[in-house]
Amino acid sequence: MQDSSHGQPHISARRCRVCGRCIDACPRGVLELDEDRICIIHPELCDACLACEEACEQAAIEVSFAIVWARSVADPPDRD
């Protein structure tokens, strides 16, 4: 089972200054301002483009994702 948090932004409440740059930078509408904090309202839309992470001057956003190596056609099958 895949960890559903991969590819989604994680926002540090301690570092976030609620400037809204991440919201403006996100092309998919994943983030929204909710009173006095930035919220992830549509995590399923996040494609891990890193726009929000790059826009954040406080380094309050981190987008984690897993790298999955595909087996090459030339690789022999695993033998149990």
Close Cβ partners of 60 (under 8 Å, ≥ 6 residues apart) = 11, 12, 14, 15, 16, 17
d(CA 80, CA 68): 22
- The pLDDT tens digits of the residues spanning 8-65 come to 899 999 999 999 999 999 999 999 999 899 999 999 999 999 999 999 999 999 998 7
Does a structural domain hold residue 23? yes
Does a structural domain hold residue 70? no
Residue 7 has pLDDT above 80, yes or no: no
User: CATH number of the domain that 39 lies in?
Assistant: 3.30.70.20
Q: What domain count does the chain have?
A: 1
Does a structural domain hold residue 35? yes
Domain containing 51 equals 8-64
Does a structural domain hold residue 51? yes
Does a structural domain hold residue 55? yes
